[in-house]
Amino acid sequence: MPKKQKYYITTPIYYVNDKPHIGHAYTTVVGDVLARWKRQNGFDVFYLTGTDEHGSKVAAAAQAENKSPQKFCDEIAEIYKIKWQNLNISNDYFIRTTDKDHIERVKQIFSQLKNGQTPKGNDVIYKDNYQGLYCTGCEKFLTEKELVNGQCPDHNKKPEALKEKNYFFRLSDYKEIIREKIANDEFQILPVSRKNEALSLLDFVDDFSVSRESVAWGIELPFDQTQKSYVWVDALSNYITALGYPSDLKLFKKFWPVDVHLMAQDILKFHTIYWPAMLIALGLPLPKSEYIHGFFTIDGQKMGKSRGNVIDPDELVSKYGVDATRYLLLSQFSFGQEADIRVERFPEKYNADLANGLGNLVARVTTLIEKNKLKIIIKQGGDTKLKKEFDQKMSNYRFDEALKILWAELRKCDEIITNTQPWKITDHEELKKILAPIAQDLLNVADLLQPFMPQTAEKIIKILTADKIKKAQALFPRI
């Protein structure tokens, strides 16, 4: 039996200073669709998501709720897990940066980096004084150039002036290696606009701090008890510690390098520059690719508590159901671009595409088959051309276009029914000639729809492959 190809996919690990919202859900559903699609195509998949739980921002959020940081993290991590279950996310592992295994492995990684030499013969990590501007909201140091009117552009707050003695990673010795690997796509950054952004950033970044002496909530460095791991080194390492690196290499050898890291653009610098530098210093292969999607707004406005437009994914699931929510999130615009989610259009799209579209078509076809007692036998995997077109879109992360291909097929079926008016035909053989191909097309669509809408697809497949096809119940009640 041939060995299965592997596929390793990750989301970013989400920061626990707040509860999960539609933005987190979007990236996680994309990861799930890719993971399910690859499994369906025979790949051995490892899908990783999780939570980022250290740093001063988390400690402050815990203090505001009068809780210990660990208790606060435990509660928020559990909320993430429940939300992902409600969205039918099929992750293989949920990592938390407060996991004991992760903490021990991060310490081992720090020791490796501390003992390492750069390609130019310098120490990978060195201790030095740091004086600069720090935004607690971002958990990152900022330069004057990055400020807008003297404030952090993301949090509209003036950063603190910090002076402390930290350990630094000698990024300057790795910049040209990273530039070359990005430029020749050995380390692929998608879409191309993000690749160009990363290449431009290389001109402005320098050695970065990997520890803090003023942060209490973090992983203690194994070689200096006065210092805690800076949140980004701790967080980025999750992609390899989840696979057991460096203490248990069985999964690591099987799945690394990662096939794709999924993330939003706010963490581009850390993933396209800091992370590959760390991997090169550890002597490890770089990720095959990173797909960095843009931010999206809600009804034309940036998401924010003050605006009251932070959407809990459970609200959508409660209103539309799991599969419909997944469909609505991924069908509205092209993945990767900055876009605007128009929540007020969800009911209209739900009714048009799902209630009146897919659901109504399945009901009409199965009703006609049952009513006329037709014996129709169809098989899965019946349209290789459709699958080829669909897979090509999926390979290029064009999820909305992949769905459009399937809905174009459904419209063709609807048109045939409208033109032939099978409810007026009494000859069973003539009726069978019309309905059998439509039922096959429906099955083909359901087959390919499984990564997006697993429960719905399973229902349709079960109905159409039964010994006796019976009228389907309403898959999507009208809203």
State the catalytic residue, choosing from 21, 38, 57, 81: 21
CA 283 to chain centre: 27
Q: Is 288 a catalytic residue?
A: no
Q: For residues 190 and 207, is the Cβ–Cβ distance under 8 A?
A: no
User: Side chain identity at 171, as an amino acid letter?
Assistant: L
Q: Which listed residue (157, 158, 302, 371) is catalytic?
A: 302
413 assigned to active site: no
Contact yes or no for 19/312 (Cβ under 8 A): yes
Residue 213, CA distances (Å) to 6, 12, 30, 162, 278 in order: 41, 26, 38, 11, 21
* Catalytic residue chosen out of the listed positions 24, 195, 261, 293: 24
| Intra-chain end-to-end CA distance of the chain, in Å | 49
Q: Which position among 152, 195, 413, 432 bears the catalytic label?
A: 152
The residue from 57, 73, 135, 140 that is catalytic is 135
List the catalytic residue out of 145, 305, 385, 424.
Answer: 305
**CB–CB of 202/273 below 8 Å?**
yes
> If residue 2 lies in a helix (H) or strand (E), which one and from where to where?
none
User: Is 155 annotated in the active site?
Assistant: yes
Q: Is 24 a catalytic residue?
A: yes
Choose the catalytic residue: 138, 271, 293, 432. Answer: 138
Integer Cα distance of 328 and 341 in angstroms = 10
Indicate if 271 belongs to the active site: no
Is 102 known to be catalytic?
no
Active site residue 138: yes
Structure tokens at 194: 């993000």
* Pairwise CA distance, residues 416 & 124, whole Å: 67
Residue 82 near residue 312 (C-beta atoms within 8 A): no
CA dihedral 233, 243, 58, 311 (to 10 degrees): 120
Helix, strand, coil percentages (3-state) for the chain, rounded to 5, are: 50, 15, 35
Catalytic residue among 4, 127, 155, 404, which? 155
Task: Say how far apart CA 189 and CA 200 lie, in whole Å.
Answer: 13
Long-range CB contacts for residues 429-434, cutoff 8 Å, separation at least 24: 431/368, 431/372, 431/374, 432/374, 432/376
Task: Enumerate the active-site residues.
Answer: 21, 24, 135, 138, 152, 155, 302, 305
